[in-house]
A and B are shown apart, each in its own frame.
Chain A
Amino acid sequence: KAGVTQTPRYLIKTRGQQVTLSCSPISGHRSVSWYQQTPGQGLQFLFEYFSETQRNKGNFPGRFSGRQFSNSRSEMNVSTLELGDSALYLCASSRGTGTGSYEQYFGPGTRLTVT
């Protein structure tokens, strides 16, 4: 079974620009979560989607948004990029409901550098 895939793997953007990151979950998984990983703040939860609905959201500014499509694929968008947005953005998928619904499997991440 293929794992969680994220595209692109690396991205360099300039302050003020916006960026869209993509995530394809494991087949059969309906929940997708996004996390930001930085050396200073560690792993922080951004948001979680299940069946195209956001079920939970972390403490990030409104510049960070996401969505999920009917095929469970998800995108996250960061507008008006700041230097502090430089991070590894991780996507995780899980069944989202039923047995094993809480087991999240992570993708390799997208390394975003803002200059």
Chain B
Amino acid sequence: AQSVSQHNHHVILSEAASLELGCNYSYGGTVNLFWYVQYPGQHLQLLLKYFSGDPLVKGIKGFEAEFIKSKFSFNLRKPSVQWSDTAEYFCAVEDDYKLSFGAGTTVTVRA
């Protein structure tokens, strides 16, 4: 079974700071990788995805993620965060039509 680890439980940043959230997964085969975001009071939204090809993928709202196969990692980045990026972020791995999620990282951006 897949396991997904997110390195940080809670991250607090100031606006314009850079953000990097770590994600590691356990499965060594071909995987489909995702980052989802849950803004306060809203439902889970797909931020970005990786299926194959260029390991650096770009998503919505200026987010990007890098897939490093040798490290089983799929880290999320944003060069300059805004107050509106305050949310909970989930890394997920798809295997056999099933998403396995990390525990989530709460990101708080201070204005």
Contact = CB atoms under 8 A, between A and B. Distances in A.
Q: Do A and B come from one complex?
A: yes
Nearest to B96: A56
B45 A106 contact: yes
A43 B93 CA distance: 12
Interface residues of A, number: 23
Interface residues of B, number: 22
B26 to A, nearest CB: 15
Majority SS of interface residues in chain A? strand
A104 B98 CA distance: 10
A56 B98 contact: yes
Contacts of A56: 96-98
B90 interface: yes
Contacts of B99: 33, 35, 43, 45, 92, 104
Interface of A: 31, 33, 35, 42-45, 48, 50, 55-56, 58, 90, 92, 96, 102-109
Interface of B: 32, 34, 36, 42-46, 49, 51, 90, 92, 94, 96-104
9 contacts: A35-B99, A42-B102, A43-B104, A45-B100, A56-B97, A58-B98, A92-B44, A106-B44, A109-B43
